[in-house]
Amino acid sequence: MYKPDNRITSSELSRLRYPRLLLAGVLVISWLGFTEEALKAASVQETSLAESGVVKIWEEQLTLPTYRVDPPDTNPMFFRNEVYQGAKKKIYPYPFQDKVTRIREDKTYRALHLENDYLSLVVLPELGGRLFTATDKTNGYDFFYRQNVIKPALIGMLGAWISGGIEWCVFHHHRNTTFMPVDYALQDNADGSKTVWIGETERRHRMRWIIGLTLYPDRSYIETTVKFFNRTSQAHSILYWANVAVHADDDYEVLFPPSVQMATYHSKNDFIHWPIGLSAYQGIDYEGVDLSRWPNHPEPISFFAWNLAEDFSGGYDHGGGDVLEFGAGSGVLAVQVLFELDRLKSLPKKYYIMELSGQLKQQQKQAILNVLPELIDRVECSYSLGF
């Protein structure tokens, strides 16, 4: 069994999400000389290195194709005898945003940017403070679902609602104002971190919420601060969750904490063993089925973690993107990376090597054949990026 010395660790591989880019060597194009473009690139690289470790925060405009929602009826809707996902559908004192159209036009929004060396976030305060995009800068992977268009559907408490990113569901189900503007502020912190604050005073019970998204220098995670304020003299029941959207496909796995043995449905009216089903659930035979894997479900369905002891949940994309390595030298690094990814059951679809030397190309392939012959079909060497 292959046991490489000084092989790449799992923690190091966490920064190689798909598609991965490995700068394993230096590509020297000496015969071209130093062109003006090369000098400019070198200057940009020096500036980038000087700014490494810095958290940036700023506001700018973002134009997105948007399906228009016409102005609501000016007459208030005091009562609607309708149930909304098991709760009362209370609309007043908000307007009912039900006039969605099929008219597509470009619309410019305020975009709040928060970025460090590893993550790039965009928050749209005019759309409920939604975390609109979250990108891993090391590989360009959008780890939350990224929408490229604003196309509301009549799903929200007040009608218009969009999917994608993270929706902050505060106080009452999917929140009345999930498609309405909220307050915001940008904050520089003494430790070098920076925070985007969003929030509002909701109109039904006059309670207030604020949520802060913080990035730290040299850290690849988002810290979320959630604060609720009851500004009234009465007690009010509340419900809160962060409604996270991800790119689900045949390779996606939902991760509940180890303590979770059962999952339940809305209103807790059905239960099933987790992660391997032992019975029917919502009319579907799930006996012996791994419920954590997306492709095992014939139709959209809900599972809620029941009686969990830990304070986390998550998901993992096992999908095979591509690895690209520049100048692979002897091929040792390629062998180490492929071995570790195979051990983690996270192999890429293709492992591309960009190599100018025909002799090194053969050496790299031979190194992989000697150790991991079963993976050689995933490796492709080329003289350029036009694979």
- pLDDT tens for 176-201 read 899 999 999 999 999 999 999 999 99
Q: What is the pLDDT of residues 222-278, one digit of tens each?
A: 999 999 999 999 999 888 989 999 988 888 889 898 899 999 998 899 999 999 999
Is residue 61 domain-resident?
yes
Are 75 and 202 members of one domain?
Answer: yes
Q: What percent of the chain lies above the pLDDT cut of 70?
A: 81
Number of domains in the chain: 3
Q: Quick one: pLDDT band at residue 10, thresholds 50, 70, 90?
A: very low
Q: Are 143 and 149 in contact (CB under 8 A)?
A: no
What gap in Å lies between CA 171 and CA 207, rounded to an integer?
Answer: 9
Is residue 227 domain-resident?
yes
Are 326 and 344 members of one domain?
Answer: yes
Q: Is the peptide bond prior to 71 cis by the omega test (within 30 degrees of 0)?
A: no
Q: Quick one: pLDDT band at residue 288, thresholds 50, 70, 90?
A: very high
What gap in Å lies between CA 271 and CA 275, rounded to an integer?
Answer: 12
Q: Are 169 and 184 in contact (CB under 8 A)?
A: no
Are 141 and 223 members of one domain?
Answer: yes
Are 82 and 220 members of one domain?
Answer: yes
Is residue 271 domain-resident?
yes
How far, in Å, are 5, 202, 266 from residue 279 at the CA level? 47, 42, 18
CATH code, 15: 3.40.50.150
What pLDDT is stored for residue 286 in this prediction? 97
Q: Range of 256's domain?
A: 252-317
